[in-house]
Structure formats: C-alpha cells, structure tokens
Amino acid sequence: MSIKYKTLSELKELLEKKDISSFELVEETFKNISSSKTNSFITLNEEVALTKAKEFDQGECEGDLAGLPIAQKDLFCTKNLRTTCGSRILENFIPPYNATVVENLSKAGSICVGKTNMDEFAMGSSNETSYFGAVKNPWDLERVPGGSSGGSAAAVAEGLVCAATGTDTGGSIRQPAALCGITGIKPTYGRASRWGMIAFASSLDQAGAFARNAEDCALLLNHICSHDEKDSTSLSNDKENYLENINNDLKGKKIGIVKEFDISNLSKEVQDSFEQSKKIFESLGANFVEVSMPNIKLSVPTYYVVAPAECSSNLSRFDGVKYGYRAENVNDLEDLYIKSRSEGFGDEVKRRILIGTYVLSAGFYDAYYKKAQQSRRMIKNDFVKAFSEVDVIMSPSSPSSAFKIGSKTEDPIEMYLEDLFTISSNLAGVPAMSIPHGFSKNLPIGLQLIGNYLEESEILNFAHQYQKNTDWHIRNPDFGDNS
C-alpha cells in the first residue's frame, strides 16, 4: 500500500483500522525521502522515529496524532536533534530542549521524521538562501518551491510526509503552499508559542502548518496552538477545536475584495483562476464586497524596515562565543566576532542585518523605523475597518507561479515583491491561509483567505467548503507514480 499523497486524516484512519502499522508508515516515509530529488530535508531522525513507531504499535503511545509521521521546519528547536536554521553558523547546533510547538505535537503522539530545509534564518521567498542548497519544486525540479518554508511545502507536495510545520514572517507558509499546490495556514499572532522557535523578526514570526487540505490543517492547529507562559506574546484565550465549525455553510457570508490589490497586471491564468474561485464561492451562497484598504500599498516597504530591524537585533547573539560556528585563527575578540559572522552568515542574512542596523541607528531611527511602525498601525486599522464589513478577505497568494531557480537572485527587490499579497496580514497579526485553486503553465497557484483576529475557524470553514467543491488540492506532481 502506497502512502504517498495520502492525507493526515486518511493515514490516521488506516492506523486506527490497523490496515497499516506505524512502523510500516515511518519506514516507507524514509524510503520515499531517500529517493527524493527535491532536497527537502536537512537532518533525518530515522532511528528515533522508528523506535517511536514501534512503541505506538505496541500500544505505548496515545494521542490525536499518535503514530503519524510529520516533518519539522529546521528553526524549531528539537531536543538532541540538529537544528540549523539553514545556516552555516548553526550547522552543528544540537538543542537540549524542544520548542513548545514541537513538544505539543509530540504529546499528541506524532513522530518527527526530520528537519526540513529552509531559507537561511527564514530570510527569503524562494528557498535558495539555505547553506544546505536550494530546495526544488516537486512540480518542476528547475523551479523554486517558495520560501522560507520551502522544504516543508515541497515535502508535503511530493508526498514524502502528510504534514509539516512551517513559520510565516511575511508569507513564508502561504507563498510556498501556493507554489507547491498544497494548503498552508498562519494563525493569529500569539496563537502558537514562539518559545524554542529561533527568531527572525519577533513581532512578525508565527508558527503554522502545511497539509494536503484545510481539514488536516485544522487538526494540526488543534495541537500547535496553545497558551505558553514561557512566551510573553502568547495569547491566553481558551483553547479551540478548529474542526468544530469546519462544515458550516457559507450562505450570507461576505467576502472582501481589496480595491488596492490590483490583479490586472498578473498572468491571465492567475486572473482567470481568481474569477472562477469567486464563482464557486458565490455558488455556495457567499457574497462579494469591495473594501478599500488605502494603506495596504505601504506593506512591502514597511515590512522591509521592521523585519530587518528586528533581525539585526535577534541575530546579534550569533557571535562565535557561546554556540554556533566559531572562526579560527583570530587575533582578538573583535576579530572573532567579525570573522565568525562574516563566514557563518550568507549574503541575504548579511544584507538584512546591515539594513536593520542602518534603520535603527541614531541618525535614521525617526526617519525610517518610527515611520514604519506608524505605517504598520495604519495598515492594522485598515484591517479593523474592513472586517467590520466582511467575514474574510480574498486575494491571490502570490503574484505568479513558481519561477526558475536563480532567475531572481540578482535582484533582491524583485524577490521581495513575491510577498506582495501576504505581508500585510503579518504586519496586522491576523490569520491567513493559502489553498490551491488552479494552474498557470502547468504549475499550481494559490488563493489566499485572510481572517479577522482569532478567526482561524472562519477561514478554515471557507477553505474546507471550497475544497469540498473543487479538486485542485488532490492533484499531485507527476513523477510517474501519481496516485
């Protein structure tokens, strides 16, 4: 029995019926990973995973996700398992503890099969900045999977695992989900603990999930999201069951189309898919309302001041002294700092540290960082106003389908614009997700659904109803074994 392309829920049912053992499931997972050409994983956890699978089969492991193999993005700390952030500077770092998200999923019984490849320190939109090499898109091995969670997205899209964790700072779950033709969700900022999740931009980073459909994403969020006293930004709201309202009908629901999101310059296939998706939601009883968000055009420049500023602060801890890469043949302490960081960080990370240091400097703080924070508040207010009129907001997830590896690496600005539709929801802290809704030149494209604060259930409901009436989410890359 092939497990490739099966959903989390399908595998859960097979385990419950004892049609397959967890050991067989995990064993085949590693077999599939070994033959993959996408470079989705940095570190595998084979020995521990097979041992845990045996424990489940012997009845020693319980939980909602018991016996199910999943992958963890390689910036979640995993006890006794290498955590690199896709960087040379953490190439040999082995944490002594689990991130809260990892711990939550482990307590639910899931089995971590390995750590997925990613843009270095989550900085990138294509998964080309990893020290361990670029990840390739399963739909076309010459194209990017999106970033920074490209390894997780590619692993799910290729059918190596049924689910994986990711993080989203400016679109790093939704954009790779779109480019790889799967479902990915970023919850409200604070829903999932950031403890043990190595920081890029602390006020923007949020853990989330990749799966084959919205129902599986809801199941994962039930365990990923929790209050955590170790994280000062963690929300203390009551725990929710995200599957509870997933089958509600959409009659009378209002979907906002942002006036300032101009899609007329996008490809004909992207525009046609968007219009077709509108018709599907209308057939399910939803109504469309145009909303104006005049400050949303400030999202990209605002993000690329705030995120580098926070990055320059967070990455100052990597100095070659206590842990991580340490340069040799140094003359003094200052030389150690300079050489360790110069040799340990890649070009994109260095670029953002320099930008962040510049905008935080005494002479430019008011001109850049302060104004960016003011713009951020204006963007957030636009969302508050829009959600007083509509239930969800709908847009493309990405301006295009997957582009060729190396085609945008020489132009950082062009690369940054790949997050045009996703960045605003991180600045505002609202939940958002991407679902497959068509193809452009035989490559998948995604539809973004943005929800109001703490309304993950709402966008999951919209996504699930859409997927019950379409088949985009069950289409798979053709490797000659497409099932």
**Per-residue pLDDT reduced to its tens digit, 218-231:** 999 999 999 999 99
Alpha carbon distance 37, 424 (integer Å): 34
Provide the pLDDT for residue 482. Answer: 38
The residue segments making up the domain with residue 235 are 1-483
pTM summary value = 0.95
Confidence class for position 39, pLDDT limits 50, 70, 90:
very high
Q: Is the pLDDT of residue 65 over 50?
A: yes
Report yes or no: 253 and 463 within 8 Å, Cβ to Cβ.
no
For range 235-264, the mean pLDDT? 94
Provide the pLDDT for residue 230. Answer: 96
Report yes or no: 432 and 174 within 8 Å, Cβ to Cβ.
yes
408 is catalytic: no
Share of the chain above pLDDT 70, in %: 99
Phi, psi of 456, deg, nearest 5:
-60, -40
Confidence class for position 103, pLDDT limits 50, 70, 90:
very high
Q: Which of 106, 125, 172, 425 is catalytic?
A: 172
**75, HSE (Cβ side, Cα atoms, 13 Å):** 32
- CATH number for the domain harbouring residue 279: 3.90.1300.10
Q: Is the pLDDT of residue 364 over 70?
A: yes
Looking at the structure of the chain, the number of domains it has is: 1
Report yes or no: 457 and 430 within 8 Å, Cβ to Cβ.
no
Provide the pLDDT for residue 238. Answer: 84
Alpha carbon distance 483, 6 (integer Å): 9
Alpha carbon distance 372, 375 (integer Å): 5
Alpha carbon distance 69, 87 (integer Å): 25
Q: Is 127 left (phi over 0), alpha (psi -120 to 50) or beta?
A: left
Share of the chain above pLDDT 90, in %: 91
Q: Is the pLDDT of residue 17 over 70?
A: yes
For range 398-408, the mean pLDDT? 93
Q: Which of 73, 115, 186, 339 is catalytic?
A: 73
Q: Which of 87, 148, 277, 434 is catalytic?
A: 148
Residue that is written with structure tokens 């053992």 in the block: 21
Alpha carbon distance 304, 52 (integer Å): 42
Q: Is the pLDDT of residue 82 over 70?
A: yes
148 is catalytic: yes
Burial of 62 (0-12, 13-18, 19+ CB in 10 A): exposed
Provide the pLDDT for residue 480. Answer: 39
**Per-residue pLDDT reduced to its tens digit, 297-341:** 999 999 999 999 999 999 999 999 988 999 999 999 999 999 999
In the chain, % helix, strand, coil (3-state, to 5) comes to 40, 15, 45
- In order, the DSSP letters of 32-53 are HHHT--S--EEEE-HHHHHHHH
Confidence class for position 420, pLDDT limits 50, 70, 90:
confident
73 is catalytic: yes
**134, HSE (Cβ side, Cα atoms, 13 Å):** 18
Nearest to 83 by CA among 128, 27, 122: 122
